[in-house]
Structure 1
């Protein structure tokens, strides 16, 4: 048992920290999924393990991310807005401190913040906060997980790729091949074959068990970052088979069913949302059987992820840790409308390999492989049925609209469809509200503050050899666990010129660098259909001034700078 001393209990400001044991903390992040994509948030996709966590914990209805993959990861890990952590865009240096494409040294990760409080730290999955994806020296790994506070790591340094042959697959600090990794062999794999979602879940479960046997007197923090359900649409055949025919009725019917289920669950109301018809130009009308298959595979990817979360939960139960573990599940951005692999015409797999079979120890270097390991060239385009390792296809705008039911826009944007995410919080010993909804507007910057709070940790003012650390931007979510409120000035966003501020129920938002500001009352118009900017010009000016003050202090400006090779690099 890990006991606080009486003095520490008296000094701590958090009522939760008075608990006899410091809790374990597990943050689970999924990839490119919309607000309505899991069962307890409206989906037809079965997610019984996430639903079970929700039924015994809290579901947040107004939790937000940053609208894009690596800015979300930088913000989550640092408790800062992404530009403050150096990742205002992607993994490229655009010549300004907010856009370096590297997690900077003026922030600490959650792992770095919790280790001085006695925590062991583990990560499984997608890192994606450094451009050093193929380092030649140890110095180039300065922003890899083990160099940013994690004791153990298994996953990918890069941001996307094949689920059957991921690039930059890494164990601790060394690249590994999925076919020759002596520490993860087919008999240890959940389905007897390598599939990256399984591999992430299997390692997370392994870390729980090995921690229990090797370091059971310490609490742990674990970050589990799935790549499901990011393109390419890859899934195991037995998972795909469970969803065949489920989407025959089409985009609108599925979206209507989700909307009604969300109403029934109390996640939304008819007074604050609109379930508008999906325009035909967002649908695939000619190659319907092909696009229906894409959604079947997408559903299979989420289904498989939930199975893996179930194995992780079981490992906590087996080691007696489930009651005092804070588990939070959330997503990095909204549904993805990108046209990845959807152009042109594709076709069936060739009858026999047309390329050389790759050696088992081959380290696959590309985000999209040129071929499968068994010698088949990559297939894209309409008619190439998604699922197998030799396909590279996304599910497109029509299904992304379904995923984001009933919100506007998608990944990249900061209208609700791009930034709204489920947040499930489960902690039997620390959350006394079970099966309830929590409507407090909150953001993933709050997860650093929450971890520091429940861990009884001290957030540092200096780190990395005396570097000044920027203060946390977030607020601890612990008060909501008891039904109490959180006070904050505002929540802010910017990505690729898309920008927003939320103050109370008011949200000011613009699409694109030159897009005009729109004003919405989220309490009655969360679908963002009734722009109030012309009716309330003075309020728009006030909110714009607040946003500009944030942009100036948080390294957001200049707005969406373009790549300028060599300029200001360091």
Structure 2
């Protein structure tokens, strides 16, 4: 009897210790973010680009038809990292200070980062890639909860240079400069190498980890490795119109869009491929070959991360989520501000500084309308893949209607992390999002949030509530209304037929705006940096085709 009692006491003590101290059973979390990737730019969402690793995650996991971002990089990253609407986090406009708390341009202290909360739950926190939500020496990764970080902002993929020939944009590891020799590296590979290194080191530990893997690819400048570009030679000779039709047909076949879905209307300033000269076609084709190569290399890097995950024996207990920060872009570097003054050599090489422009982005955002920075579906829709072996049913495609603000509640619920009522003498902002776990685990087809979703970016405004989407595009204040369940291509404005819906959702919008600190953009537009004013204007103008005047 004494032996039995002793054994029971020892067992109870071990169990109690395990319950209080064993964090190794908690799931790991990897959040992968692409930059300027369109909705249809990976194979699992209709692309011809070779993305076998992302496609495998999709086949073995779940895809959402509807997942929303904030239409442009810094506001998206602010929401993603904090679970807040971007204004509440302090990044209402961009990574620029426009003179008020909602528009200070970097994450405020009241908006806790994923790393700060998960670190408090026993996680090792890791980051590699683009950050873009710091300012005035504040809110860098190493200041906001990350144990290890490699920071590499946008710039040349080969030498850190900017489009205007300005100062290099150095990389930092754990807050210290990380020097690299120009022409001896490729940015996407550097980001991957650090992520793999961090996972390798983490594999020796018993703690769970959170990895934020934020690629700069495929954001311009269009630069890629020759062996990757070679894979796509001749693939885009057919032009953007045929490519868009091809991707749309594949999306229907995959079940990403419905069989009766309708493509959005073609923008008036998208060129007619058949009217371009041979030289013009050749120069445009080269752009898309490089863009595809950049996506391809990112996917290769994701494959290396997954291999390391398996090698360390952590693949079965890890949630991986992949999204994009906004739709494919409309900006043309030749027309933006003073142009890409640094632009020598063929597209794709170390001296080039090109962007894909509206024409190819028109195909990248299939089947939606418009581009990055707009609140039409083409600007705010992201591919969404979630992979979690034994927890997520393979091959699942759900409606979702998720948003960036839903990621924080999802991760905290999964990790058993309590969102603190107080953090370093600061009362954190409440979380407005909902956990995605019921959707990921197949209990629901879409998020049951009970309230609309909202957007505001440089005067562009939108509300999504059920099947309805209300929006206006600056400088216009006219509300447009779309039934996005039946017309996600936003081809039919039904505002005049539904005054009651317009009234209800517009009132809800202004209530939300007041709550988060969003203001009428006309009242702060004069504080906007000239480069960004030129950027917005360039998107509204016709894009000049390489090799000569544009042909409509």
Fold shared, TM-score > 0.5 on shorter chain: yes
3-state SS of paired residue (2:253): helix
| 2:23 and 2:206 in contact (8 A); partners too | no
TM-superposed deviation, 1:20: 8.3
Q: Which residue of 1 aligns with 2:427?
A: 468
| 1:282 and 1:397 in contact (8 A); partners too | no
Q: 1:277 to 1:548 in 2, by over 3 A?
A: closer
Aligned residues: 499
For 1:222, which of 186, 206, 211 is the aligned residue?
Answer: 211
Q: 1:404 to 1:69 in 2, by over 3 A?
A: same
Q: Deviations over 1:363-410 (max 9, x none)?
A: xxxxx7x7xxxxxxx326xxx531011011100000010000010110
Q: Which residue of 2 aligns with 1:451?
A: 411
| 1:92 and 1:563 in contact (8 A); partners too | no
| 2:23 and 2:208 in contact (8 A); partners too | no
3-state SS of paired residue (1:115): helix
Q: 1:322 to 1:514 in 2, by over 3 A?
A: same
Q: Deviations over 1:189-230 (max 9, x none)?
A: xxx9410001111111111111112xx210000100000000
CA distance in 2 between counterparts of 1:563 and 1:305 reads 38
Q: 1:8 to 1:487 in 2, by over 3 A?
A: farther
| 2:472 and 2:478 in contact (8 A); partners too | yes
Q: Which residue of 1 aligns with 2:496?
A: 534
CA distance in 2 between counterparts of 1:112 and 1:126 reads 18
| 2:27 and 2:208 in contact (8 A); partners too | yes
Given the alignment of the two structures, is residue 337 of structure 1 paired with residue 339 of structure 2, yes or no? no
Q: 1:20 to 1:203 in 2, by over 3 A?
A: closer
TM-superposed deviation, 1:47: 0.2
TM-superposed deviation, 1:535: 0.1
Given the alignment of the two structures, is residue 127 of structure 1 paired with residue 127 of structure 2, yes or no? no
| 2:264 and 2:369 in contact (8 A); partners too | no
Q: 1:553 to 1:241 in 2, by over 3 A?
A: same
Q: Deviations over 1:494-514 (max 9, x none)?
A: 101111111111111111143
| 1:95 and 1:563 in contact (8 A); partners too | no
Q: Deviations over 1:485-538 (max 9, x none)?
A: 332111111101111111111111111143311111111000001111000011
3-state SS of paired residue (1:441): strand
Q: Which residue of 2 aligns with 1:241?
A: 230
3-state SS of paired residue (1:501): strand
For 1:258, which of 247, 263, 279 is the aligned residue?
Answer: 247
Q: Deviations over 1:290-336 (max 9, x none)?
A: 11100000000000000000000000000001111000000000000
CA distance in 1 between counterparts of 2:31 and 2:16 reads 29
Q: Which residue of 2 aligns with 1:169?
A: 171
Give ranges in structure 1 of 5+ residues lacking alignment: 12-17, 133-139, 181-191, 347-367, 371-377
CA distance in 2 between counterparts of 1:563 and 1:93 reads 12
Q: Deviations over 1:107-150 (max 9, x none)?
A: 10000010111000000000000134xxxxxxx2x311010000
Q: Which residue of 1 aligns with 2:291?
A: 298
Q: 1:438 to 1:7 in 2, by over 3 A?
A: farther
Pairing 1:511-522 to 2, within 5 Å after superposition: 511-522=473-484
| 1:334 and 1:410 in contact (8 A); partners too | yes
Q: 1:342 to 1:318 in 2, by over 3 A?
A: farther
Q: Deviations over 1:269-291 (max 9, x none)?
A: 24333254565644673522111
Q: Which residue of 2 aligns with 1:550?
A: 512
CA distance in 1 between counterparts of 2:95 and 2:268 reads 34
3-state SS of paired residue (2:111): coil
Q: Which residue of 1 aligns with 2:532?
A: none
Given the alignment of the two structures, is residue 379 of structure 1 paired with residue 343 of structure 2, yes or no? yes
Q: 1:10 to 1:476 in 2, by over 3 A?
A: farther
CA distance in 2 between counterparts of 1:258 and 1:558 reads 38
TM-superposed deviation, 1:7: 8.6
Q: 1:109 to 1:483 in 2, by over 3 A?
A: same
3-state SS of paired residue (1:61): strand
Pairing 1:112-511 to 2, within 5 Å after superposition: 112-132=116-136, 140=137, 142-156=138-152, 158=153, 160-166=154-160, 167-179=169-181, 193-213=184-204, 216-274=205-263, 276-277=265-266, 279=268, 281-282=270-271, 285-286=276-277, 287-341=280-334, 378-379=342-343, 385-431=346-392, 433-463=393-423, 465-485=424-444, 486-488=447-449, 489-511=451-473
Q: Which residue of 2 aligns with 1:184?
A: none
Q: Deviations over 1:432-462 (max 9, x none)?
A: x111101021101111111101000011122
3-state SS of paired residue (1:445): helix
CA distance in 2 between counterparts of 1:28 and 1:398 reads 27
Q: 1:319 to 1:332 in 2, by over 3 A?
A: same
Give ranges in structure 2 of 5+ residues lacking alignment: 1-13, 161-168, 530-552
Give me the CA root mean square deviation: 2.5
